Amino acid sequence: MKYRSLFASIVAGAVLTASLSAAQQIGPSAYRNPCERGPVPSWELINSTHPGFVAFLLDLRPQMPLAVAEYIASSVCDDISIVGNSAALTRRTNLLLRQTGY
């Protein structure tokens, strides 16, 4: 009985982890919610790059230096005009990837 409970806990943890990962990354080349936004999106002090977005960029372009991925992520998230606009976020990310040679 003890092992059954342990097994159920492990399976539940694995399912939760997988669902949280899927909530952020959708498919091999899409990332949902790349920026963390506070209650007032126009206040830059409370808006930042989602840490997973940098890792996502590095997974897409393994040859990209960390500093370049951080620059792209912060540039995307600093553009308050595209908050909540997935198409604009994608265009901006792709533009920055091209501009930096990745």
Q: For residue range 30-67, what is the model confidence (pLDDT) as tens digits?
A: 777 777 777 776 665 556 777 888 999 999 999 999 99
Q: Which residue has the higher pLDDT, 23 or 57?
A: 57
Cα dihedral 49, 101, 96, 29, rounded to 10, equals -70
Distances (CA, A) of 60 to 8, 10, 34, 63, 86: 34, 30, 14, 9, 18
| Residues 6 or more apart whose Cβ sits within 8 Å of residue 74 | 49
Q: How far apart are CA 85 and CA 21, in angstroms?
A: 21
Q: What is the mean pLDDT of the chain?
A: 73
In the predicted structure, residue 21 carries a pLDDT above the cut 50 = no
| pLDDT for position 41 | 60
Q: What is the percent of the chain with per-residue pLDDT over 90, rounded to a whole number?
A: 30
| pLDDT for position 22 | 38
In the predicted structure, residue 72 carries a pLDDT above the cut 80 = yes
